[in-house]
Amino acid sequence: MTNYFNTLSLREQLAQLGKCEFMDATEFEDGVDYLRGKKLVVIGCGAQGLNQGLNLRDSGLDVSYTLRASAIEEQRQSWKNATENGFTVGTYEALIPTADVVLNLTPDKQHTAVVNEVVPLMKQNSCLAYSHGFNIVEEGMKVREDITVIMVAPKCPGTEVREEYKRGFGVPTLIAVHEDNDPRGEGLAIAKAYAAGTGGHKAGVLMSSFIAEVKSDLMGEQTILCGMLQTGSLLCFDKMVEKGLSAGYAAKLIQYGWETVTEALKHGGVTNMMDRLSNPAKIKAFELADEMKDIMRPLYQKHMDDIMSGAFSEGMMADWAKDDEKLLGWRQETAETGFETTDVTDQDIPEQEYFDHGTLMVAMVKAGVELAYETMTAAGIKDESAYYESLHETPLIANTIARKKLFDMNSTISDTAEYGCYLYNNACLPLLADFMKDIDVDVIGRGLGLNDLGVDNQRLIEVNAVVRSHSVEQIGATLRGYMSAMKRIV
């Protein structure tokens, strides 16, 4: 198989990358009707598989699960997940031939093997759905011509997909139809009904392409989302300990700090996150972020270039072929870092203190979000996609660190994210080493400690103007507006 993206002409590549359109709510008025009475069979019963299936069934659709015969015989976790939730479970041979839509919700790594196994069993004119386009775009999977291939990608972890549905809402979702596999022109109708079944239509659906989804998703997850948070965690922790702060406090400030500062990001973008700082701290964070952006820009560009050329996936697939040799080594190194191994203090940290003592963390989030967004849009990805894959997802990833530090983040996001995150981290740590030499506890751990919070008016106006006029803030305000128009709870 060859990289699908690389087989396209530049014109086609740009057209696909630039595909991104916010769909009007009226497009979903028919709800799940297009899939009503059809048989949906889900492959894989992990977080996405199980939770999407629960939502689809609660929306009135016929959902069952298919697992490898060995998983059923050994009653593995995936089998338990499906049966305890009252689903019919059967082998590929038993269920795939009955399916009108097969939902491939296995990890990316398994896609090639799974798809090669199930497609021959699929009935004529059925549909194969993905939640991530890696297999099609990066691995160049060719699916039988009579089969419709679509993607429905909720932009949240599986548990969130379920929780929001139960509240009566949903999570923002990206849908796409693989144009090479839409023989009856029904791909969009199926994808819309599928998105409605997961509740995604209530939170906003973005019509995109497999290519735009894969390239932007990979870029976001390995740079700002997982990579920057991991690198930032390690650097900030080591700095605080080096400067004599208690390790327990340092661990807590970081573990819950990302979640706290990015909660401000979620509600009101970089602007609001920066506004939570005192004026002197805001100016300081602005300057630190600018400095880091200059240092890290080549790294972000390299990640984007490697993703576009296919070099990244090639390297990762080579590691898959070696049973994750590199990945497992890096995972072990991460597990042994000071931040991961230190227990957090019981000491209560008030919400505002996370900002006041975490100026550097705010600066890192700002730098990472803006760089990832700028690099993606410069590569032809639309503002909307770039926003979702950078700023929008940062708080979600930060939540996973609050749960169980880096281990949880890396093990729950995705196999591609984890590999990319380590790549980024390994390059970024040395890159920021000199910068960190000049960092002291005033910006991480202890706060500026100023009695006088006065600032120069002109400088503050200048800083505010630059923060607010960034393109990620403009598109963010629009997209959050769509969200809150529907979600009047914020």
Partner 1 sequence: MNPNEPAQSNNSSVKPDIIFDACTIQFNEQFKLNRVSWRIASDDCWVIVGGNGAGKSALAATFLGEGEHLSGSIHNAPPIESVQAVSFEVQSKLIDQERLEDDSRILDVIDEGSTAAEILQRGDCDTTLLPALVERFGLQALLDRSFSKLSTGETRKLLLVRALASHPELLILDEPFDGLDVDTTAALATELAQRATSQAMLLVLNRWDEIPEFVTHIAYMSEGELQHTVATNNTKQVAELKKLLHLKTTDLAIPGPLVDVNHSHSKKLNPDDPLVQLKQAHIRYGEKTIFEHVDWRIDPGEHWQLYGPNGSGKTCLLNLITGDHPQCYNNDILVFGYQRGQGESIWDIKQHIGYVSTALQWEYRVSISLLNVIVSGFYDSIGIYQKPSSSEKAVARQWLAVLGMESRANEPFNKLSFGDQRMLLIARAMVKHPALLILDEPCLGLDDMNRSQVLAMIEMVCAGTETTVLYVNHHAQDKIAGIHRSLDLGNLQR
Residue 100 as a binder of partner 1 (CB under 8 A): the answer is no
Residue 62 as a binder of partner 1 (CB under 8 A): the answer is yes
Annotated active-site residue 132? The verdict is: yes
Q: What are phi and psi of 170, to 5 degrees?
A: -170, -175
Q: List the interface residues with partner 1, window 192-221 (CB under 8 A).
A: 202
What's the one-letter identity of residue 247? A
Among 28, 34, 169, 320, interactor with partner 1 by CB under 8 A: 169
**Closest approach of partner 1 to the CB of residue 170, in Å:** 9
Among 9, 10, 86, 434, interactor with partner 1 by CB under 8 A: 86
Q: List the interface residues with partner 1, window 34-53 (CB under 8 A).
A: 36-37
Residue 141 as a binder of partner 1 (CB under 8 A): the answer is no
DSSP string, 226-257: IIIHHHHHHHHHHHHHHTT--HHHHHHHHHHH
**Closest approach of partner 1 to the CB of residue 40, in Å:** 12
Residue 465 as a binder of partner 1 (CB under 8 A): the answer is no
DSSP string, 309-360: HTHHHHHHHHHHHTTTHHHHHHHHHHHTSHHHHSPPPS----HHHHHHT-HH
Residue 168 as a binder of partner 1 (CB under 8 A): the answer is yes
**Closest approach of partner 1 to the CB of residue 54, in Å:** 6
DSSP string, 404-417: HHHHHHHHHS-HHH
First to last CA, the chain: 46
CB closer to partner 1, 86 vs 454? 86
Instruction: Determine the size of the site formed for partner 1 (CB under 8 A).
Output: 25
Which range of residues in 94-102, 118-126, 160-168, 384-392 is near partner 1 by CB under 8 A?
Answer: 160-168
Residue 292 half-sphere exposure toward CB, CA atoms < 13 A: 32
CB closer to partner 1, 54 vs 236? 54
Which range of residues in 58-66, 209-217, 248-256, 365-373 is near partner 1 by CB under 8 A?
Answer: 58-66
Among 13, 23, 28, 58, interactor with partner 1 by CB under 8 A: 58
CB atoms within 10 A of CB 75: 10
Residue 54 as a binder of partner 1 (CB under 8 A): the answer is yes
Q: Please return the burial class of 123, using the count of CB atoms within 10 Å of its CB with bins 0-12, 13-18 and 19+.
A: middle
Residue 466 half-sphere exposure toward CB, CA atoms < 13 A: 14
Residue 80 as a binder of partner 1 (CB under 8 A): the answer is yes
**Closest approach of partner 1 to the CB of residue 86, in Å:** 4
Residue 59 as a binder of partner 1 (CB under 8 A): the answer is yes
Instruction: Choose, from 132, 201, 303, 470, the residue flagged as catalytic.
Output: 132
The CA distance from 157 to 161, in Å, is 6
Nearest to 446 by CA among 229, 287, 230, 246: 246
**Closest approach of partner 1 to the CB of residue 195, in Å:** 15
Residue 403 as a binder of partner 1 (CB under 8 A): the answer is no
Q: What are phi and psi of 65, to 5 degrees?
A: -120, 140
Q: What are phi and psi of 101, to 5 degrees?
A: -130, 130
H/E element, 166? helix 158-167
CB closer to partner 1, 156 vs 361? 156
**Closest approach of partner 1 to the CB of residue 346, in Å:** 23
**Are the CB atoms for 232 and 436 separated by under 8 Å?**
no
**Closest approach of partner 1 to the CB of residue 488, in Å:** 5
Residue 481 as a binder of partner 1 (CB under 8 A): the answer is no
Active site residues: 132
Residues in touch with partner 1 (CB under 8 A) = 32, 36-37, 54, 57-62, 80, 84-87, 166-169, 202, 486-490
